[in-house]
Structure 1
Amino acid sequence: MNILQINSSARSTGSASTRLADALSARVLAANPGATLVRRDLAAQPHPVLDEATLQALFTPADQRSAEQAARVALDDALIAQVQAADVIVVGAPMYNFGITVQLKSWFDAIARANVTFKYTENGPVGLLSGKKVYVGLSRGGMHRNGPTDSQVPFLNTMFGFLGLSDVQYVYSEGMGMGPDAVAKAQAQADAEINAVLV
């Protein structure tokens, strides 16, 4: 089994979402002796954003790309290869201003590629990354679960579903900005959810 952990916090240390992702990965590893774990920290290894030069590189046939264009596409290729090789994907996703981080958005922009991780058909788009399990650790400063201010989960469900990743489970750590007692309660609740998700 191959486990891919994506840490999308802007913090390389002290991140609540990374704590959740670490705990989820540890449980998957414990349940699957011999499994391998690859961690990608998008703060320590920031991926370039999708810009005009990148679009030009992606839409240029491979044999016609400049060296610079080929190098840029290769960065996305590496992320796609990691996802394709993974049996389990664990994502640490903090909420910044009611949404996902720019780091995580750049990761999605990199791995969503037509005819590689999804394709368009006469019946609509079809994801090509099916058969994988996804766990997402969500950390929030306030309380947003199942409420109108939670734009993260609908977006993540849309993106994962678009790529064929339909088996997704979420673990929440909310109220992290509401004082020490709230933090302790949130961490205990998150740990309980991890235990329930990964029996």
Structure 2
Amino acid sequence: MNILHIDSAITGEASVSRKLTADIVARLKDANPDASVTYRDLNKGVPAIDTDWFHAVRLAPEAPTEDQKQLIETSNAYLADVQDADVLVIGSPIYNFAITAQLKNWLDQIARAGLSFRYTEAGPEGLLTGKRAIIAYTSAGTPIGSEIDFASGYLRHILGFLGITDVEFIAADRLAMDHDAGLARAQEALDRIAA
């Protein structure tokens, strides 16, 4: 088993999502001792896609410049992490009702036509099939699945668009209202997770 462990919180050691992703990975490793783990801390910076990225990665010039080669290599590395993974463990704290900018940048980097999805006569088809995603969803006040939660539905949709349809959430939500209850809900969900 290959595990891709993604964190995106900006709060360092105080992060609940980082603790949850570590707990999830530990549980998976306990059940699969030979599993390998690739770790990405998106808080260290994920380049946003822009015009330069479009010209380098999407247009794929035959003779890319050195700067374009770097953009291509970075995007390819993020995508290779996902292609090689059997399980994705993603930390998604909720900031301003949505996913972090870093996590959005990472998703933009891996959403690559012809590589992670393709368009067919029947519509889009995800190419990253046969994978499982476990998302540690944490929020101060946004209840998961509520009308003000613009994160969980988006994550389920974009991952499904890429072919990852086995998506489950471990939610520690509304932590600012009742921290202990939010952690208890996450622990109950974690205890139910099949490793």
**TM-score (ref. length: structure 2):** 0.96
8 A contact 2:94–2:142 mirrored in 1: no
How far did 1:193 drift? 0.7
CA apart distance, 1:188: 1.9
Secondary structure in 2 matching 1:171:
strand
2: distance between equivalents of 1:10 and 1:143?
A: 17
C-alpha displacement of 1:61: 2.9
Conserved? CA contact 2:17–2:136, under 8 Å: yes
Please, which moves more after superposition, 60-69 or 132-141?
60-69
Secondary structure at the aligned position of 1:63 is classed as coil
Alpha-carbon separation, structure 2, partners of 1:71 and 1:143 = 37
**Distance between the aligned counterparts of 2:59 and 2:129, measured in 1?**
28
**Structure 1 unaligned spans of 5+:** none
Return the alpha-carbon distance in structure 2 between the equivalents of residues 54 and 61 of structure 1: 10
Q: Tell me the secondary structure at the aligned position of residue 43 of structure 2.
A: coil
SS at match of 2:129: coil
Instruction: Name the counterpart of 1:5.
Output: 5
CA distance in structure 1 between the partners assigned to 2:141 and 2:116 by the alignment? 34
- The runs of at least 4 consecutive aligned structure 1 residues that moved more than 4 Å come to none
Q: Is 2:84 aligned against 1:85?
A: yes
Percent identity over the alignment is 35
1:104-115 matched pairs, under 5 angstroms: 104-115=103-114
Counterpart amino acid of residue 180 in structure 2: A
Partner of 1:154: 153
Match of 2:170 in 1: 171
Aligned length: 195
| CA displacement at 1:10 relative to structure 2 | 2.0
Could you tell me whether the CA contact under 8 Å between 1:5 and 1:39 is conserved in 2?
Answer: yes
State whether residues 119 and 125 of structure 1, in contact with CA within 8 Å, keep that contact through their aligned partners in structure 2.
Answer: yes
- Say whether the 8 Å CA contact 1:47–1:106 is kept in structure 2: yes
How far is the alpha carbon of 1:143 from its aligned partner?
4.2
Q: Distance in 2 between matches of 1:64 and 1:105?
A: 29
- Partner residue of 1:21? 21
Who is 2:119 aligned against? 120
Does 2:41 correspond to 1:41?
yes
User: Counterparts of 2:15 and 2:194 in 1: how far apart (Å)?
Assistant: 22
* Equivalent position SS for 2:160: helix
How big is each residue's C-alpha offset from its partner over 1:111-130, in whole Å with a ceiling of 9 and x where there is no partner? Answer: 01011011111111100000
Return 92-101 or 8-17, whichever deviates more: 8-17
| CA RMSD of superposed structures (Å) | 1.2
Q: Distance in 2 between matches of 1:113 and 1:57?
A: 12
Secondary structure of 1:110's counterpart equals helix
Query: Which stretches in structure 2 are left out of the alignment for 5+ residues?
Result: none
2:191 aligned to which of 160, 179, 195: 195
Single out whichever of 80-89 and 138-147 deviates more from structure 2. Answer: 138-147
